[in-house]
Structure 1
Amino acid sequence: MLVLSSPSGAGKTTISRAVLEAERANGLSLSISATTRAKRPSEMAGVHYHFMSEREFLKKQKAGDFLEWAEVHGNYYATPREEVEQALSEGRDVLFDIDWQGASQIRKAAPEDMVSVFILPPDATSLRERLERRAEDDGATIKRRLTNARTEIAHWGEYDHVIVNHDLEVSVKEVLAILHASRTSAKRQTGLAADVAKIIADLEAME
C-alpha cells in the first residue's frame, strides 16, 4: 500500500493521478475514497470519489465497511475496505490519496504493508496561490484549508518519505522511485524464501 498525504493544494492528487497512469500496466490501482462533501464540477462519481450522504457514510462506518475514516474540513472521508482487500489479495499494489488521519489508522492496522510519502509545498505562499488558482473553493473555504494545513504539515515526521513539490514532474519521478524500491524489499517478495532455500541446496549439492 503506497500512501500519499499532503495539505490541500500541495499537489497530492495530481501526483497520485500521474503515478497511477505510469503504473497502471503494472497492476497499480487507486483506492477511491468515499466522501460526504459536495461534488466539484470537474469531478466524476466513482472516478474521483464515491459521493454519499452523511447518513449513508455513518451507516457504512458503523458496519465496518471502511478501512479508515476521518473528518476533514467539515466533511467525512474514508477508504472502502472491500476494494482494497480485493486488490491486495490479487497481489496488486494500491495507491492511497488520503490525509494524515487516515494514514495513521492504516499504519496502525498494517504497518508492514504500508509505504508512506508526505508531499510538502515549497512554501506557504505557493500553497495559498495553488488553492486560489484552482478556483473551486470560495474565500472562506480556502482560509479554512490554509488553517488546517498547519495541523497536517505538523505530521510530516510520521512518514517514511518526504517530498517537497518544487516541480511536478520531478516529484512524480521521486514517488515512482519509492514505489519501485518498495517492490524489491524482502518482506514484499513472498516467494523469496523458497528461491533462496533452493539456491543454498543446489550449492550444497555441488560440494
Structure 2
Amino acid sequence: MSKANRGKIIVLVAPSGAGKTTLARRLLNDYPQIKFSVSATTRPPREGEQDGQAYHFLSEEEFDTKVQDHQFLEWEHYGGNRYGTLRSEVDKLVESGYFPLLDIEVKGALNVLEMYGSDVVSIFIKPPSMEVLKTRLQNRGSETDHSLQKRLARAEQELSFAQRFDYAVVNDDLDTAYGEIQAIIESFITD
C-alpha cells in the first residue's frame, strides 16, 4: 500500500433505502485493507446486533459525555435517536494502516469532508428515482406510513447535496453500481 494513500477515509453517503449498506458490505468483503468504522448510537440493538460490531450502543448519558468531550467527528439526531462517528475509531484504523469506511448520513459526511478535506474520498449513492426508493423502503416491511413519508422527505433534501461529494453513483442495478464504486476505490487502493 502506498504511503501517500495510507489513511484515506472512504465515505459512503445516501438516503435511506438507496443501497449504501449493501454496497458497503460488498466493499468490506472484497477489500481486506478497508475496515468499517463502527458508529455509536443511542438506539437499542436490533435482534442479532452485538455491541462494537454494528454499533457502539450508548446510553443518552454516555453519548452526552462523548459529545461534551469532542469525541465525535460528527453526530446527529435521526429517527428519534442519535448516531455519531467516534474519532477514536477512525484514528485507530488509520494508525493500523487501513482505509476506514464510514457509512453515514449527509450532514455528518459534510462535516467529515470539512475536517479531513483531501484525505476523504466521498461517494454519494443515489436511487434511480424517488418511486424506486419508495418501493425499496416499503419492501423492508419496517416502515409505517408516517415514517415512510418522513424518510422520503428527508431523501429529497439529501439528494440536493449530491453534487458536494467527489462521486455520485446511481444504484439502479446493484452489480453495475458496485462496479463503479470498485473503479473509484481501485484508483487509490493498491496492494
Query: What TM-score comes out, normalization by structure 1 length?
Result: 0.82
Aligned pairs for 1:149-164 within 5 A: 149-164=155-170
The Cα shift of 1:177 comes to 1.3
Tell me which moved more, 69-78 or 113-122. 69-78
CA distance in 1, matches of 2:76, 2:85: 10
Aligned partner of 2:141 in structure 1 is: 135
Aligned partner of 1:18 in structure 2 is: 26
The Cα shift of 1:42 comes to 5.4
Greater RCO, CA 8 A, separation 6+ = 2
The Cα shift of 1:65 comes to 1.4
Aligned partner of 2:66 in structure 1 is: 60
Aligned partner of 2:14 in structure 1 is: 6
More helix by share: 1
- The code of the aligned residue for 1:148 comes to R
The Cα shift of 1:181 comes to 0.5
Q: Deviations over 1:112-154 (max 9, x none)?
A: 1000000000111110111111112322222211111111111
Tell me which moved more, 139-148 or 5-14. 139-148
RMSD over aligned Cα atoms: 1.5
| Correspondence for 1:118 among 113, 117, 124 | 124
Q: Deviations over 1:61-109 (max 9, x none)?
A: 1112112112223321111111210111222111110011111111111
| Correspondence for 2:97 among 91, 99, 107 | 91
What is the percentage of aligned positions where both structures have the same residue?
A: 38
User: Gaps spanning 5+ residues in structure 1: where?
Assistant: 185-207
- The code of the aligned residue for 1:154 comes to S
More strand by share: 2
Aligned partner of 1:181 in structure 2 is: 187
Q: Secondary structure at the match of 2:187?
A: helix
- The code of the aligned residue for 2:29 comes to E
CA distance in 1, matches of 2:45, 2:78: 15
Instruction: Report which of the two structures shows the higher radius of gyration computed on alpha carbons.
Output: 1
Tell me which moved more, 82-91 or 4-13. 82-91
Aligned partner of 1:46 in structure 2 is: 52
**Does 1:31 pair with 2:37?**
yes
Is residue 5–residue 12 contact of structure 1 (8 Å, CA) maintained in 2? yes
CA distance in 1, matches of 2:27, 2:17: 17
CA distance in 2, matches of 1:50, 1:171: 29
Q: Secondary structure at the match of 1:110?
A: helix
Tell me which moved more, 116-125 or 165-174. 165-174
